[in-house]
């Protein structure tokens, strides 16, 4: 397949997924896997799982998985194309909504929307936290690390989170090494 065709295929796959990713990147994970493994044979199942692990270990949003798929099949051009195809369409939509949203600030219905949607957003975030906690092997330790970090940040809000994250990693390694 010529490179141009691959790039067009990447756009054709990821632009619809961009609009389908309601609730964040994890909601289209199954769709990405189906398209890139089963339909287009861009990557094998094994490669897909590895890429997922890499995208979680790297900084940034987890959906950079698509960047890796693009890179895998078409180098830098593929990486860039896949990334833009996934992020630009949903961002344009968000921009439009945010623009309209702000123009009506202060009106009664706007205030009601804002007040009414905020608890839904917080509830979704709580559900997301629970999902991640269940994904990360479960057990009491992740909760202790999360609550401990939260408590330290509440007490000292300007504390830099990175040393706390490092501490979390060190504690997890010590506990794992002690138990095994």
Partner 1 sequence: MILPPQPPPAAPAAPPSIVTIFAVFARIGLLSFGGGLSGWVFREVVVLRNWISEEEFLSGLALAQILPGTNIANLSVYIGQKLRGVAGAAAALGGLLSGPFFAVIALASVYDRFRNIPYADAAMDGVAAAAIGLLLIIVLRGTRHSARRPAGAVALVATFIGVGVLHVSLLIVVAVVGPLSVLAAWLGGRADA
Q: What angle do CA 127, 130, 136 make, to 5 degrees?
A: 140
Quick one: CA dihedral 135, 52, 169, 128, positive or negative? negative
Q: Which of 39, 54, 103, 104 binds partner 1 (CB under 8 A)?
A: 54
Q: Which of 6, 9, 79, 85 binds partner 1 (CB under 8 A)?
A: 79
Interface stretch with partner 1, choices 2-10, 36-44, 115-123 (CB under 8 A): 115-123
- Integer-rounded Cα Rg, in Å, for the chain is 20
Q: What angle do CA 59, 63, 65 make, to 5 degrees?
A: 85
113 binds partner 1 (CB under 8 A): yes
- In angstroms, the CA 122 to CA 3 distance is 43
100 binds partner 1 (CB under 8 A): no
49 binds partner 1 (CB under 8 A): no
133 binds partner 1 (CB under 8 A): yes
136 binds partner 1 (CB under 8 A): yes
């Amino acid at each position: 397949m010529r490179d141009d065709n691959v790039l067009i295929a990447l756009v054709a796959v990821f632009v619809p997924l961009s609009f389908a990713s309601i609730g964040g990147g994890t909601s289209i994970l199954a769709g990405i896997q189906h398209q890139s493994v089963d339909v287009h044979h861009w990557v094998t199942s094994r490669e897909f799982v590895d890429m997922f692990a890499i995208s979680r270990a790297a900084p940034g949003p987890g959906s950079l998985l698509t960047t890796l798929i693009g890179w895998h099949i078409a180098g830098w051009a593929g990486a860039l194309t896949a990334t833009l195809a996934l992020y630009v369409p949903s961002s344009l939509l968000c921009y439009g909504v945010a623009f309209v949203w702000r123009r009506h600030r202060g009106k009664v219905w706007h205030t009601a929307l804002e007040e009414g949607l905020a608890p839904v957003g917080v509830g979704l975030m709580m559900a997301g936290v629970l999902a991640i906690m269940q994904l990360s092997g479960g057990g009491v330790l992740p909760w202790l690390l999360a609550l401990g970090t939260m408590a330290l940040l509440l007490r000292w809000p300007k504390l830099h989170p990175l040393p706390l994250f490092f501490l979390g990693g060190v504690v997890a390694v010590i506990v794992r090494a002690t138990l095994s």
